[in-house]
Amino acid sequence: MDIVTIGGLIFAWACVLVSIVLEGAPLGGFVKGPPALLVFGGTLGATLIGMSKKEIKTLGAKTRKAFSNKEPKYKELIDTLVGFATVSRRDGVLALENSIESINDEFLKKGLQLVVDGVDTDRLRHTLETDMASLKAWYKEGQEFYKQMGGFSPTLGIIGTVLGLIAMLAELENAEAMGPAIASAFIATMYGISAANLVYLPIGNKLKTVETKDLHEKKIILEGLMCIQDGVSPRMVEQTLLSFLYPEVPKGMEQAEVKA
């Protein structure tokens, strides 16, 4: 599990709870079954309306991606591709066939098989870029799901508040109950806004981050395989792929900071 994602969610909700305590309000007063059912259940139902059965089945896998601690190991990947380039340069492209079965990454495995099979450069790039586009669309579905949840949730919260106020107005003769009834009505709005901004939208943003890293890894693989197919020297392959690594401090930034 990704401790950053989990820690962020826990910290955000802890701040909400501490704020409630500091305000002197009882925590039990914020736990209401009907508003929770309307906001959380209604939000999920409204979002599922626009989805297909296939998309719903993959929601679990997409959500797990947001909580996964699998960081791309770019340097190790580059070393692997440079090793393939060395074998290809020394023994020929067909010698790489012995390495295919030991590869765990399906994208790399497929690409290397295409190289061994002698697929031309344009076809290799087109095939792998199509796979990357499909992967991007897969991530996009997950991001849209949580984005829509984040959009519906506050609206359902307002609906819950309106329903609570309607129920309150039906009991106007009981003046003593007006205050608690009004406070209870706004619980639904709090649920809707909190869930949207502290759960749904952050998870959607995290999926975007994971997608960016995953696709960047695929770009390194694609470029490496293209270099191997073109017979580029291992040293040049390494230099080309190292340019894909994110620098800790962008070039020129240090000088800019000094000038500032």
Question: How does pLDDT run across 142-195, given as a tens digit for each residue?
Answer: 999 999 999 999 999 999 999 888 877 776 676 666 766 777 788 999 999 999
- pLDDT value of position 256: 46
- pLDDT value of position 258: 44
Helix (H) or strand (E) holding 6: helix 3-22
Kindly tell me if the per-residue pLDDT of 1 is higher than 70.
yes
- pLDDT value of position 252: 57
Is the sign of the CA dihedral 146, 151, 157, 159 positive or negative? Answer: negative
pLDDT tens digits along 124-148: 999 999 999 999 999 999 999 999 9
pLDDT tens digits along 27-80: 777 888 888 999 999 999 999 999 999 999 999 999 999 888 677 889 999 999
d(CA 147, CA 151): 6
d(CA 35, CA 161): 8
Q: Where are the beta strands (DSSP E) in the chain?
A: none
CA–CA distance from 89 to each of 114, 196, 231 (Å)?
A: 17, 54, 7
Q: Which residues are CB-neighbours of 196 under 8 A, at least 6 positions away?
A: 149, 150, 151, 153, 154
Domain ranges of the chain: 33-246
Report helix, strand or coil for 241.
helix
